[in-house]
Amino acid sequence: MIKQVIKTLTTHKGTENLVLIKSEAKPSILDYAILLKPRVMSLVLFTSIVGIVMAPGSIDMVTALAAIICIGMGAGASGAINMWYERDLDEKMERTRERPIPAGRMNPNSALLFGITLIILSITAMVLFVNTVAAILLAVTIFYYIFIYTVWLKRRTPQNIVIGGGSGALPPMIGWAAVSGNISLDAFLLFAIIFMWTPPHFWALALYNSSDYEKAGIPMMPTILGVEETKKLMLVYTILLWPLTISPTFTGLIAIPSGVIIGLLGLWFIRHAIKVKNCNEHDEPRAMFKYSILHLFLIFVIFLADRSIQAYLQAV
């Protein structure tokens, strides 16, 4: 299987114009850390921890830590192979051209080997130290991000973010499975919240950073369907996200007061989408992008706070 993965990845073309990288290039530890996409990894780790905390049952600290480390390695592996595969795109984009490979600080094969090594270690360790269900979900997440999003979707369709968002939504389910050994409706709701949040989040970025994507030839929604259609879709997705964010209240995962607060945060997100739809400047999409990050963070913080309060009340 590993040989097939390597063969599929190494058939990638389209990097003829990539800046030449010296064979003696010696990347720093920081360069390898950048390959891991630490900002993305931080969100992945945070949401997976929420999955661990919210799942029914108990887990010892060592096993929980092992699960978190495995998820982090898997996320890092995905980021490294993504940067290896997209090195030609990164060279064209202002936002990414200083990454280790396009900047000439790292040989592409080093990044690929690093990513493959992390994949093997993360999945194997998850099987050995946590459980098989969590390991399968981790493997699905990694291969979904690499093959479905990076290789298949990103260069071909403006639906890349919509379909590809599944990989970023899976970490809380992995955390959940690490504790319970299975997947329930509540675990799926955690997945669904991130899945529905992802398109408006990235489309807001694309609206005020569209020139970068156009240079790289990435078919983002604003450049293919147009700005106005993208704005309409952003509003639709934020409206559809709202009932998903409060649905854990009805399943009993969180208490009603927590659901009310999350609902109010969601209404403010919809307000941002309405303002984006009615404006022609870049300020509103930028503001919505920033709020979207805070929005998702606060939703999951409220989940954690709710669980802590419930545990305290049960202990009193």
User: Which domains, and CATH codes, for the chain?
Assistant: 27-182 (1.10.357.140), 184-316 (1.20.120)
- Confidence (pTM): 0.90
Each residue's pLDDT tens digit, 228-276: 999 999 999 999 999 999 999 999 999 999 999 999 999 999 999 999 9
114: tokens are 């690093």
Q: What per-residue confidence (pLDDT) applies to 5?
A: 47
Specify whether the backbone of 56 is left (phi greater than 0), alpha (psi in -120 to 50) or beta.
beta
| Residue 7 confidence (pLDDT) | 52
| Whether pLDDT at 14 is above 70 | no
pLDDT digits (tens, 9 = 90+) for 82-116: 999 999 988 988 888 899 999 999 999 999 999 99
| Mean per-residue pLDDT, 218-226 | 85
Query: How many angstroms separate the Cα of 8 from the Cα of each of 4, 31, 73, 197?
Result: 6, 25, 21, 31
Residue 39: C-alpha distances to residues 36, 72, 135, 149, 293 (Å) = 9, 12, 23, 18, 11
Please write the tens of the pLDDT for every residue from 201-221: 999 988 887 777 777 788 888
CA dihedral sign, ordered 305, 311, 314, 316:
negative
How many Cβ atoms sit within 10 Å of the Cβ of residue 294?
13
Q: What are the structure tokens assigned to 120, written together?
A: 């093997």
Cβ contact 91:126 at 8 Å: no
Q: Quick: pLDDT tens for 284-301.
A: 999 999 999 999 999 999
Check residue 19 and give its pLDDT. Answer: 44
CA distance 225 to 298: 31
